[in-house]
Structure 1
Amino acid sequence: MTNKFIQYVRGEQNAPGERKLVQKLDFFILTFCCLMYFLNYLDRTNLKNAYVSGMKEELNFRGNQLNQINTVFTVGYTIGQVPCNIALYYIKPRIFFPTCMVIWAGLTMATAGAQSPGGIMAIRFFQAIFEASTFVGTHYILGSWYTENELGKRSGIFTASGLAGTMIGGFIQTGFHSSMDGLSGLPGWRWLFIVDGIITLPVAVYGFLLFPDTPRNTKARYLTADEKALAISRVPEVSERTPISWTFLKHCFSTWYWYFFVVLWIIAGETESFSTNALLSLYMKSHPRKKYNITQLNNYPTGVPAVGIASTLFWATLTDFMGGKRYLVGFWIALTGVITSALILAYPNNTSVHFDAYYWAGSVYACQATFFAWANDVLRYEEDSLRAVVIASMNMGSNAINAWWSIVFYGANFAPRFTRGMWAMICVSIGMAIWTALLAWMQKRTESKREVRNVTTTMYDKKEEVAHVQEKGAHLGA
């Protein structure tokens, strides 16, 4: 166990040159994808920061309009999931990802000129379609380059970069409010969107120039011919079929993978509701006894993604080391959801308990990295087009439910207690435990069948080889 741990920590690989290859992949793939996701989340979550920093009052928000904007964003994001991943078959990732970044950067800057909640709603819908490329597209790319023992940790680092965008966004808004508020006649919250869009553009240029696409079509000059061949050999050779055909659709919906992983992520997506709906920010904004200033409203909630980053990296690394036991995270999430919700219900007037519960709930973000790594692990021996569609469908299904779930259970008008949402969280957390157990059982059953099939194939090949040798011997004897 000690030697295995040392080898894992060092990141040692078996084939000659493999460690150097992985280091290059980490630098060029992981760096770009993490920066892209960081900016993606920064652009996305700064709407909440702007809302509590003056946008609500200036644009005269009423009732659930913030939730309605988030719902419209979710609808656009849902629509974009599968088409974006399918697009990676027809447009090189080196072109597709940066192009989407340039478009969403422009739309982010356009938000600075919005004059009403309706204007923001229209911008966010189209912004969401192009931002949909980032999360599921990156998980597909990571699964194309990295092995089972490498994937969880890389997925964790990628997910953590998005949470870092959530966390840092609050501090950035605080800085803008204190230093740029009123500059050129614009409030600080408008400057936030302008700067967000500008800093996205250099990363897009970096992707145009250096992203390596996928192992079988890469033309990256920094990879040698031997490294390209090694990259192809590191992942199982699978059959290919076009993702746009009736035959493929029938095949996709005839497998258990699509149904089980889509439902898994639908449930998991709702266990993140405390964080994704910024309940701590809304709780503070609507606190019945205490008035929080803008700095506190932006900075205190950053503890939630901070906990999420620590949890994500911990569970992603641990499940890699334990040989891909991603299901453990599902049970942790179930436990967290039940306990944190019960605490908030039991102590409705205790501010300290609410803060502690919301911070702890941030740990459920670990499911993003581990569950998509789980899907990549299980689908590693299936064709790439199926893996791409299942991964995209997971996020599509989750966002389709979340489009109305957040309004029904976590609307801003329910603040500060969100009693209905607490009971919903307890229910989906119990469902998470049950579904995780079922999926783990299905995975084990599929792997057992594959092992039997491989043994049978090997025995058949050996019989064929022996028969061929005997036939050749008889021919020579004659």
Structure 2
Amino acid sequence: MSEVKHASDEEDAKRHQLPGQDGHVAADTDTATADDPVCPPHTTERRITTRIDWYIIPFVSVLYLMAFLDRVNIGNARSFGLENELRMGGTEYNTALTIFFVPYVLFEVPSNILLKYLSPRIWLSICCAGFGAVTIFQGLVQNYSGLLATRFFLGVFECVLFPGCFYLIGSWYRRAEAQKRFSLFFSSTSLAGAFGGLLASAIGNLDYVRGYRGWRWIFIIEGCFTVLLGAIFWFTFPGFPEQATWLRDDEREYVKARLRKSQGESGADRRITFRDVRTVMSDYKIWLGGFMYFGLIVPAYSYAYFAPTILGSYHFDPITTQLRSVPPWAVSFVFSMIVAVFSDWAQHRFLFILAPISIAIAGFAVLLTVHDNLSVQYAALFLTCMGTYSAMPIIVCWFNMNLGGHHRRAIGSAWQIGFGNIGGIIATYSFIKEDGPLFTKGYAICISFICLSVVSCVLYAAAITWENKKRSKQVRNLNLTESEKLDLGDLNPEFRYML
């Protein structure tokens, strides 16, 4: 089941038509019709889409790969003596993980608004160099207080990246073609997990080089790479379609027209006000979107932060632990892309969320009940990683692409990621060292929050189905002005939610 289809007769087309589009119809779907925007004669739609892919996806994927790597490499550092050298005990390690999420949650929405005003090239490049520098300082700290301070500022600089990149991607692609791009970007987390394990196993051999322990070199080397990347991005990072100087004028107008057909007017030049924030947050569907993501953040960060700890409880040495952490991430990347391709092909999201979530529940259930078979336990780690990290990008894409206009997408996407990452705080205390090697409490918590995500997804699917049916029965020719359409965003009676 995809978006609600309507008759294509002339009267219905007129009801869908947006002012100022010279006969181009704001259709409910992305399927080809006679009213599609006309591609410039010197090129094709496929060529333009491919150019967009090469100009957008590599940049955002590499950026988030480094961000996620700098965020979770503390789990790798733990295997190489971080706790011992900083004389940490009890739940101090968990607290160091938690403090990252305080600014990460609080500053999501303001940071996304800054992204709109400063442009992605400027704001994301500054943040990239910032969290890279903080990561270097994390490798130079001399006590636990210094570690807490660097983790806090890491959250300050990283808070914009995830919702900001999703916001940018959603501004370039039609709804029926977005999932592959969302999943490819999101799967950079899987690549970061795999790359982080390999890199940590190699850097671990630098133990005591120039008097620094191996865990320090993990932060210093990875941080230096990130600062360099931020400097490069200052000159090369892409912006929104309205800022795309690398497209010809007719190509840029065509891209904007095809986006209008799929998503409605963007309102890129419209200022975001406090009234906008209040209006967006009064929509119950926005809250459901937050809970959908919140439920999966707990198992996602539990795995990202504690996979080395769980593998270490299987009595592997530090180097083997890092190497064993790589295959689940690699398989998760491949599986996530397969699910995304089929989701775009079907133009459907809901069932492609439930299927991976079921795999994740099965994996955690095995870890919760099987404690005497190392091969089965290790295989279950594959299931948890595959299921969780395949469902999350579909949830984010589904929610983001159902938000109409720049202002609703900027606020709604930041809200979903910001609220969802409260689950990261819960995840950091789910796996306490003293609970090993069984970690019964941690696995039970993960299953519980996955179930919360399932309930939220079902309620969201029911809500947008009801909204679509209600709108199909209404007279939609309300003679709204362009300004009124932008104010309404996806609340516009002509807008159709994708299921």
What TM-score do you get using the length of structure 1 for normalisation? 0.85
Which residue of 2 is the match for residue 86 of structure 1? 113
Which residue of 2 is the match for residue 242 of structure 1? 271
Which residue of 2 is the match for residue 181 of structure 1? 207
Whether 1:103 aligns to 2:130 is yes
Instruction: Find the aligned partners of 1:143 and 1:82 in 2 and give their Cα distance.
Output: 16
Equivalent residue for 2:283, pick from 240, 255, 260: 255
Question: In 2, are the aligned partners of 1:80 and 1:128 still within 8 Å (CA)?
Answer: no
Which residue of 2 is the match for residue 163 of structure 1? 190
Question: In 1, are the aligned partners of 2:288 and 2:457 still within 8 Å (CA)?
Answer: no
Question: In 2, are the aligned partners of 1:37 and 1:134 still within 8 Å (CA)?
Answer: yes
Equivalent residue for 1:212, pick from 238, 254, 276: 238
Instruction: Find the aligned partners of 1:68 and 1:307 in 2 and give their Cα distance.
Output: 30
AA aligned to 1:49 is: N
Deviation (angstroms), 1:352: 2.2
AA aligned to 2:316 is: Y
Q: Residue 416 of structure 1 aligns to a residue in which SS?
A: coil
Question: In 1, are the aligned partners of 2:127 and 2:157 still within 8 Å (CA)?
Answer: yes
Instruction: Find the aligned partners of 1:253 and 1:359 in 2 and give their Cα distance.
Output: 37
What whole-Å deviation, never above 9, does each CA across 1:77-113 have from its counterpart, x for those lacking one?
A: 1122112111112211110000111111111111121
Instruction: Find the aligned partners of 2:74 and 2:428 in 1 and give their Cα distance.
Output: 16
AA aligned to 1:413 is: E
Distance 1:162 1:423, change over 3 A: closer
Instruction: Find the aligned partners of 2:231 and 2:251 in 1 and give their Cα distance.
Output: 25
Distance 1:351 1:369, change over 3 A: same
Which residue of 2 is the match for residue 435 of structure 1? 456
Which residue of 1 is the match for residue 255 of structure 2? 231
Instruction: Find the aligned partners of 2:75 and 2:360 in 1 and give their Cα distance.
Output: 23
Whether 1:193 aligns to 2:213 is no
Stretches of structure 1 that go unaligned for 5 or more consecutive residues are 1-6, 461-478
Distance 1:75 1:160, change over 3 A: same
Deviation (angstroms), 1:421: 2.3
Whether 1:419 aligns to 2:440 is yes
Whether 1:269 aligns to 2:297 is yes
Q: Residue 60 of structure 1 aligns to a residue in which SS?
A: coil
Instruction: Find the aligned partners of 1:14 and 1:49 in 2 and give their Cα distance.
Output: 52
Q: Residue 99 of structure 2 aligns to a residue in which SS?
A: helix
Between the two proteins, what is the percent identity of the paired residues? Answer: 24
The structure with the largest alpha-carbon Rg is: 1
AA aligned to 1:148 is: R
Deviation (angstroms), 1:14: 7.9
Distance 1:50 1:459, change over 3 A: closer
Deviation (angstroms), 1:274: 4.1
Which residue of 1 is the match for residue 359 of structure 2? 336
Question: In 1, are the aligned partners of 2:366 and 2:380 still within 8 Å (CA)?
Answer: yes
Instruction: Find the aligned partners of 1:267 and 1:298 in 2 and give their Cα distance.
Output: 27
Which residue of 1 is the match for residue 25 of structure 2? none
Question: In 2, are the aligned partners of 1:319 and 1:326 still within 8 Å (CA)?
Answer: yes
Deviation (angstroms), 1:69: 0.8
Deviation (angstroms), 1:318: 1.2
Distance 1:133 1:64, change over 3 A: same
Question: In 2, are the aligned partners of 1:242 and 1:248 still within 8 Å (CA)?
Answer: no
Distance 1:399 1:459, change over 3 A: closer
Which residue of 1 is the match for residue 415 of structure 2? 393
Whether 1:358 aligns to 2:349 is no
Deviation (angstroms), 1:425: 2.8
Question: In 1, are the aligned partners of 2:302 and 2:428 still within 8 Å (CA)?
Answer: no
Equivalent residue for 1:152, pick from 166, 174, 179: 179
Distance 1:401 1:176, change over 3 A: closer
What whole-Å deviation, never above 9, does each CA across 1:106-137 have from its counterpart, x for those lacking one?
A: 11111121112321111011111111111110
Which residue of 2 is the match for residue 476 of structure 1? none
Q: Residue 20 of structure 1 aligns to a residue in which SS?
A: helix
Deviation (angstroms), 1:208: 1.9
Question: In 1, are the aligned partners of 2:280 and 2:408 still within 8 Å (CA)?
Answer: yes
Which residue of 2 is the match for residue 466 of structure 1? none
Which residue of 2 is the match for residue 376 of structure 1? 400
AA aligned to 2:468 is: E
Deviation (angstroms), 1:155: 0.7
Question: In 2, are the aligned partners of 1:85 and 1:388 still within 8 Å (CA)?
Answer: yes
Distance 1:459 1:173, change over 3 A: closer
Instruction: Find the aligned partners of 1:219 and 1:366 in 2 and give their Cα distance.
Output: 31
Instruction: Find the aligned partners of 1:111 and 1:259 in 2 and give their Cα distance.
Output: 35
Question: In 2, are the aligned partners of 1:282 and 1:416 still within 8 Å (CA)?
Answer: no
Deviation (angstroms), 1:295: 1.0
AA aligned to 2:69 is: L
Instruction: Find the aligned partners of 2:362 and 2:461 in 1 and give their Cα distance.
Output: 24
Question: In 1, are the aligned partners of 2:128 and 2:157 still within 8 Å (CA)?
Answer: yes
Equivalent residue runs for 1:275-354 within 5 Å: 275-278=303-306, 280-287=307-314, 291-323=315-347, 325-354=348-377
Deviation (angstroms), 1:261: 0.4
Instruction: Find the aligned partners of 2:266 and 2:65 in 1 and give their Cα distance.
Output: 34
Instruction: Find the aligned partners of 1:341 and 1:103 in 2 and give their Cα distance.
Output: 36
Equivalent residue runs for 1:67-78 within 5 Å: 67-78=94-105
Q: Residue 265 of structure 2 aligns to a residue in which SS?
A: coil
Which residue of 2 is the match for residue 139 of structure 1? 166
Q: How many pairs align?
A: 437
Q: Residue 203 of structure 1 aligns to a residue in which SS?
A: helix
Q: Residue 184 of structure 1 aligns to a residue in which SS?
A: coil
Structure 1 range deviating more: 444-453 or 297-306: 444-453
Which residue of 1 is the match for residue 431 of structure 2? 410
What whole-Å deviation, never above 9, does each CA across 1:203-223 have from its counterpart, x for those lacking one?
A: 32332223331122x052x21
Instruction: Find the aligned partners of 1:101 and 1:345 in 2 and give their Cα distance.
Output: 38
Instruction: Find the aligned partners of 1:14 and 1:155 in 2 and give their Cα distance.
Output: 26
Instruction: Find the aligned partners of 2:52 and 2:111 in 1 and give their Cα distance.
Output: 22
Deviation (angstroms), 1:57: 2.2
Question: In 1, are the aligned partners of 2:135 and 2:222 still within 8 Å (CA)?
Answer: yes
Stretches of structure 2 that go unaligned for 5 or more consecutive residues are 1-30, 481-499
Distance 1:370 1:49, change over 3 A: same
Q: Residue 210 of structure 2 aligns to a residue in which SS?
A: helix
What whole-Å deviation, never above 9, does each CA across 1:162-203 have from its counterpart, x for those lacking one?
A: 22112111111111122x333222222222222212212343
Whether 1:15 aligns to 2:39 is yes
Deviation (angstroms), 1:152: 0.4
